[in-house]
Amino acid sequence: MDCCWKEGRCSCRASRAGRPRMVLGGLMVVIGGMAAPAAARADDMAEIRALHAEMQRLEAKVQQLEARHGMASGGSHVLAGRTLRSGPRSSASSTSVTNPSGQISAMPDLSRLTIGGPALSDDAQAAAAAENTMTESIVPSQPKLDLDSSSPLAITQAGVDSLPPIFRIGGVSVRLGGFIDFSNIYRSKNLTSGPATSWGSFPYANSPNAHTGEYRPSAQLTRLSVLLQGSPTKDETLSGYIETDFGGAAGTANSYQTNSYTPRIRQAYMTYSNTKWGFHVLAGQAWSLTTGYTQGLLSRHEQLPPVVDNNQIPGIVFTRVPQIRFIKDFGRKWWLGLSLEAPQVAYAANGGRHAMLTGASDDTISSSDTTLLYSNAGSGMLNPNARYSMDVAPDIVLKGALDTKPAHYEVYGLARWFKAMAQAPGGPIREHVSFAGGVGGDVTVHVIPRYLQFTGNVLAGQGIGRYGPAMLPDATFRANGTPAPIPEIIGSMGLIGHPTSNLLVYLYGGVESAGRRTYTGADGYQYGYGVNDLALASCDVEQISGGSCDAQTHTIADLTVGGWWHVLQGGDGASPTTGGNTIYVTFRYLPFQ
């Protein structure tokens, strides 16, 4: 709720929706507290403010279209029986609000507040609103689900583009987004995992953790975002976006007295957009271009499932990493994008020596074994407790997209390179580089416009495990120490329904599967990933120490059904199998939505 002082009185206004909102398992809870007449007036005024904001948006759009076609501005436009005045507004404009006493008082329009410079012109405001907002000024009008209800899209994405500016600094508009989150997580198996499920860590039957559940409440998903936008010219827009939550866990973080979880960067990037040329550039940390989009290929319009789990669901393709991206649109219908993204490789091996060559464990390798160097501990501003792969070049994504009225289509290619240093006993050190990658696609179909949407994605290739939430390994090694990318496939399908104005339901199914990449050692045993001669008998024998289970994950499957009462049923694979269920009950207060 926003408050300001005027002539010795405090006047307040509610959030954009007109009243504080809280999400409980996907259902909206409206917090009351005023007498019925005052609450009714507040509701009416909230609706009036929402209509004012919508009319301002439409007015800015009309002015932009007029400027594009050289039409005179400064006149009046009639919209739904109301006259909209074009041209600059008075900085003294105000909005009437209802205070707790039930009286109506005037409050300055904070969206017109200017700090350190002149107010942003209406033309510049319209251009800024057009950048990355995917309204009709960017792409043709298409049917979409009305997600601004009890389960708004902002639950999983910022959704700040459609919000009015909170204030302006010179010619830069400032929009705030985010939410307060409180998630209650129950899992049928103990993963000792926070609000981001470690999909590949469901314990097998040999571990006592497979026979007991876990309850873990968390506020770590609380999120704050800021969007800055300015327009040097009517065709150009510069933007800066930062999004953070509390998903970091420093070495001192725990849940005993104060958990001390730390803020982290989710996204932090800048963009340049030229609508005349249809050219867009992004630099910074953002969702990968491999992620599916609802329309076009511009940021903040990723097709993310509306689930609570911060690690999405198995089968969704994504990373969120530093990158530089170039996008060209052709008539706002055809899109072509190229992204150079920060690489990292997850190897199916531990330590610095190639234990798989002899079958010996890392602590028993002798000087006669082949030695590998493929990762190093972090230093400087990197995590010293994590290991970072030796990288050759950025991951490269080339994607094309098509927007039509009934559907959105994408197809792309992914290229990666893996590197390791190997030294055979008594031999020289050799550098080995392997190529990996795959092809993928995404589709979003408006089955019943505004009521039912189908979405699907797939990525198939070698060395692509990093791009799936299950985090299957990218590669193992060949006998000579060369990285061996593992064949994999990642895919999901989902239905998103909106049967009423206050209900969103969804059904998702996803799978991630890894193939074999093995060789036979001098001792006659298989080594690598997907080995079929491992000793697995103890995987089903429960022992307090966990026993020994050398199983390598083949497939992780998931079925997710929810509204905002979120149920997960996931993870079974090749023999032996394991699985578990997760239940989320989440409260969220969205002050900016």
**pLDDT given at position 267:** 94
**pLDDT given at position 287:** 95
Q: Which of 174-183, 272-281, 405-414 has the lowest mean pLDDT?
A: 174-183
Q: Using 50, 70 and 90 to split pLDDT, how confident is the model at 34? A: very low
How far, in Å, CA of 418 to CA of 423, rounded?
A: 17
What does the block give as tokens for 320?
């969120």
AA identity, residue 253: A
What does the block give as tokens for 458?
């797939």
Q: Using 50, 70 and 90 to split pLDDT, how confident is the model at 442? A: very high
What does the block give as tokens for 279?
């050219």
**pLDDT given at position 328:** 97
> Do 77 and 62 contact (CB within 8 A), yes or no?
yes
Crossing angle of the two packed helices 122-130 and 36-68, in degrees rounded to 10: 90
User: Which tens digit of pLDDT belongs to each residue from 346-384?
Assistant: 998 644 445 444 444 444 444 456 788 888 888 998 888
Q: Using 50, 70 and 90 to split pLDDT, how confident is the model at 195? A: confident
User: Which tens digit of pLDDT belongs to each residue from 58-87?
Assistant: 877 777 776 666 554 444 443 333 333 333
User: Which tens digit of pLDDT belongs to each residue from 473-493?
Assistant: 999 988 888 899 999 999 999
What's 465's DSSP letter? G
Q: What is the mean pLDDT of residues 454-482?
A: 93
**pLDDT given at position 478:** 86
Q: What is the mean pLDDT of residues 229-252?
A: 90
What share of the chain has pLDDT > 90, as a percent? Answer: 31
User: Which tens digit of pLDDT belongs to each residue from 107-152?
Assistant: 344 444 444 444 444 444 444 444 444 333 333 334 444 443 333 4
The mean predicted confidence, pLDDT, of the chain is 74
User: Which tens digit of pLDDT belongs to each residue from 570-588?
Assistant: 344 445 666 677 776 676 6
How far, in Å, CA of 465 to CA of 389, rounded?
A: 14
How far, in Å, CA of 337 to CA of 328, rounded?
A: 6
**pLDDT given at position 507:** 92
Half-sphere CA count of 110, side-chain side, radius 13 A: 20
Cα 418 from chain centroid?
A: 26
**pLDDT given at position 359:** 40
Radius of gyration for the chain, computed over Cα atoms and rounded to the nearest angstrom:
27
Q: Is the peptide bond before 499 cis (omega within 30 degrees of 0)?
A: no
> Do 196 and 248 contact (CB within 8 A), yes or no?
no
> Do 462 and 440 contact (CB within 8 A), yes or no?
no
Q: Using 50, 70 and 90 to split pLDDT, how confident is the model at 451? A: confident
**pLDDT given at position 271:** 96
| CA distances, 400 to each of 168, 290, 411, 412, 590 (Å) | 36, 11, 6, 6, 34
Does the structure show a pLDDT above 70 at 15?
no
Between residues 485 and 591, which one has the greater pLDDT?
485
Between residues 368 and 402, which one has the greater pLDDT?
402
How far, in Å, CA of 45 to CA of 95, rounded?
A: 9
Q: Which of 94-98, 167-171, 192-196, 554-558 has the lowest mean pLDDT?
A: 94-98
Q: What is the mean pLDDT of residues 28-37?
A: 35
Give the start-end residues of each E strand in 161-261: 167-169, 172-187, 214-218, 223-230, 236-248
What does the block give as tokens for 568?
């997960």
Alpha helices in 1-92 (DSSP H): 36-68
User: Which tens digit of pLDDT belongs to each residue from 501-532?
Assistant: 777 888 999 999 999 998 877 667 778 888 88
What's 347's DSSP letter? B
Between residues 415 and 375, which one has the greater pLDDT?
415
Burial 299-331 (b: 16+ CB within 10 A, else e): bbbbbbbbbbbbbbbbbbbbbbbebebebebee
